Structure formats: C-alpha cells, structure tokens
Amino acid sequence: MTKVDFNSLDIRRKAVDQVGVEERCARFKSRSIKKDAKIQGLKMALNMIDLTTLEGKDTEGKVRQLCHKASHLHYSYDGLPTVAAVCVYPSFVKLAKSLVSNKGIKVASVATAFPSGQSFLKYKIAETEEAVQEGADEIDMVISRGKFHQGEYSYVFDEIASVKEACGKARLKVILETGELGNLDAVYYASQIAIEAGADFIKTSTGKIKPAATMPVSLVMLEAIRDHYFRTGKMVGMKPAGGISNAKLALHYLIMVKETLGEAWLNNQWFRFGASSLANDLLKQLVKQESGMYQSANYFALD
C-alpha cells in the first residue's frame, strides 16, 4: 500500500455550531415511534449491538457467558435476531471466535493500547496483527488523543493508516474518544482524519470516559460520513458506544441515522451500538409490545 501524505489531502477544519446541532437532535427525539415501526426498530437495534465486555476482571467464564447470550438473547422469545458482534480484549478473541463464528456473529477486538492509546506504534501494530491472527473480524482501535491535542494531525492520520494496513481483511473501527476531544469542531475534524486514513467505521468512545456517546457528537460524526459519501460515493460505518442504555434512546439514534444518512445505513454492516446493558432494555420493550406488560428485570439475563 502506498502511503498517503496527510498534508496532500483536501480536508479542512469545518465549523460546527453546537446550538444548532443540539436543536437538530431535539427534533430526532420528538419523533414518535409506535407499533410495527417500534417492533421493527427494536429488533433492528438488537441486531446492531456489539455486545461488549472490556474489564480488567474479564475471565474465560465471563466471555463464555457473553458469547452464549450473543445468540440467545432471551430464553423464551421466538424469532429474535442475534447481536452483530461480541467485543472483547485481544486475549479472548480465540475463545470468542470458537464460540460464535458458526452463529454468524462477528468477533471484534479492541487493540492499540486500549483505552488510552499511550504506547508505541510498533506495539499497536503488533497487537492488531495478533488479534487478527487469533481470528478477530473487526478491530476497534483508539486514536492518539494526546497527539491530536498537540496538533500532530499527520501523526494521528499515519497511525490509523498503519493500523488499517495491519488489519488486513478485518474491518477497522476507529475510536475518537470524543469525550476527550473537547468540542464538536474537533470531533468533525477527527472524524475526517479517521475516514481519510481508512476507517471502515468511526466510533465515539471507549466507554471508559464520560461523556461517552451523545446524540450531538454522533450527529456530527454522521455528518462527516455523509460529507465523505457526497464527495466520494463511499460508505463508512458508525458506532456510538457507551451511554446508550435504553431502547427509546437507541430508536432515536436510528431515526438520526435514517434522516442524516438514509436507510442504506440501517443494518449492522454500517451501524453498530457499542453497549452491554442496552440489549436487555430492548428485550424488555419487545416483550412488552407482545404481552402488553413490562416484565421484571429478573426475566432478562445479566450477562
């Protein structure tokens, strides 16, 4: 792969108006999603989840349980989709792969010194390569926010391009960690850098920093994806992660995707939720649509 020089790219910092972005998000939230549209939306959201466990105390047992849940979301509700992927640390990729690959569920692995990204490029590349060798279908990398704040945008760009190369056939999700970027102008610029450097998905957050995904941040990223699509005709995926734990909010995210990018993005090839507790609320709402009553949380498995 020939190296692209960051400075040769036709990208420029673009103004983003926070007040306007927030007003637009309020409009998405005023959409009323009822009946069939709701059921379809809830199932769609389930099928877009990257079911995630990223803890220091993760064990084989925990990963096994997670992987089982990925394809058996509820013990009695028929006709449910599976989640899109399970997302784990690199050391659990092999195990996860062996448990879910025959279910059509992808294995995503974080890499590149997740979550801080404060390490050397050669280790980040090595970690990525190893995760892919172990069977990861997708790599969730973090950008070097420190370098971004230092104004070393070409470093950030080159690093993403190198990790992309190390991914081979695995799809690359680039985590911007928007909670550390400080403002929406920076979110847009970081999105552009990631997309130009070869991101297959751009992703809001690691889940370790607050705020994680918010609608305004996600809208700006979706707009960056749209701008890229308008310029080049190429689609890029989006993954908000962290902080989306209830079904209503998830449905409003889907409305935002539909009205910003279009229905072509409404599937797990192009849109994901990075979440662990969202699945249960989606399930709770689905069961409620069927039975007319909310079930107690005890009926939904805590994995």
Query: Which residue, among 128, 185, 197, has the nearest Cα to 158 in the 3D structure?
Result: 197
The amino acid sitting at 186 is: A
Contact 90, 109 (CB under 8 A): yes
Token pair for residue 113? 């010194």
The residue behind tokens 């080159």 is 158
Using CB under 8 A, which of 34, 57, 169, 210 touches another protein? 34
Binding residue count for another protein, defined by CB under 8 A: 36
80 binds another protein (CB under 8 A): no
The residue behind tokens 């803890």 is 55
Residue 140 falls in the annotated catalytic set: yes
The residue behind tokens 């993760």 is 58
| Residue among 7 and 32 whose Cβ is closer to another protein | 32
Taking contact as CB under 8 A, which single stretch among the options 25-33, 53-61, 283-291, 295-303 is the one that binds another protein?
25-33
- Supply the DSSP string of 22-40, one letter for each residue: HHHHHHHHT----HHHHHH
230 binds another protein (CB under 8 A): yes
44 binds another protein (CB under 8 A): yes
Strands, sheet with 171-175, edge to edge from the N-terminal-most edge strand: 237-239, 201-203, 171-175, 138-142, 106-110, 85-88, 49-52, 273-275
Q: How far apart are CA 117 and CA 144, in angstroms?
A: 6
* Set 38, 97, 124, 203: catalytic member: 203
Using CB under 8 A, which of 31, 62, 64, 208 touches another protein? 31
24 binds another protein (CB under 8 A): yes
Using CB under 8 A, which of 19, 61, 102, 292 touches another protein? 19
Q: Peptide bond before 115: cis, by omega within 30 degrees of 0?
A: yes
* Set 38, 239, 281, 303: catalytic member: 239
10 binds another protein (CB under 8 A): no
Taking contact as CB under 8 A, which single stretch among the options 39-47, 100-108, 172-180, 202-210 is the one that binds another protein?
39-47
262 binds another protein (CB under 8 A): yes
17 binds another protein (CB under 8 A): yes
Q: How far apart are CA 243 and CA 282, in angstroms?
A: 14
- Chain residues binding another protein by CB under 8 A are 14-17, 19-21, 23-24, 30-38, 40-41, 44, 223, 226, 229-230, 235, 254, 258-259, 261-267
Q: Which residues are catalytic?
A: 140, 203, 239
